Amino acid sequence: MTPPRISRVASLLVLAALFVLTIGFANAADFSHLSGSYQVLRETDLGSQTRVRLQLHLSNHGQRDLHIQRITFWGSARHPGGKPQACSLLVHPGSFASTTQEVTMPRSEYRSWTSEKRLNLLVAVEGSGGREATELVRLDRISGGKEN
């Protein structure tokens, strides 16, 4: 038979763990409501590199304002991503916001994500209490508008 004191301590530890997990999931839920699309406005061949000017459209399907602070263009596992870029963008609940960004990347990486018609974007978002979280958002390509 388990002594009552150990049983109480174990119960308190289980309750504390559940409380911590619940808070973690609540905070993660604040940031998991982004989706988006992109349009290539211009691409410039720089030899082994390609400079791309993109129009990004990000939608907030959540119930809180999302303040995007930084974005990183994120490729495949072989090309995990570029340098983070500052991007101050406020996306209201049930709304979308657009921004134009320019990025230079290896030509092979550019060809890879254009053939898939999707682009991954790592987004740093300021949440409640000033805490920052990151989310990987898959962007679908919008055709047209490209000038060389």
> How sure is the predictor about 13, in pLDDT bands with cuts at 50, 70 and 90?
very low
pLDDT tens by residue, 26-81: 445 555 689 999 999 999 999 999 999 999 999 999 888 889 999 988 765 555 56
Q: Which is nearest to 38 in space by CA: 125, 112, 102?
A: 102
Asked whether the predicted pLDDT for residue 123 surpasses 80, the reply is yes
Structure token digits, residue 72: 């990183």
- Gap between the Cα atoms of 104 and 52, Å rounded: 6
Distances in Å between the Cα of 119 and the Cα atoms of 7, 18, 96, 114 are 51, 36, 18, 8
Which residues fall within 8 angstroms of residue 128, CB to CB, at 6 or more apart? 27, 30, 64
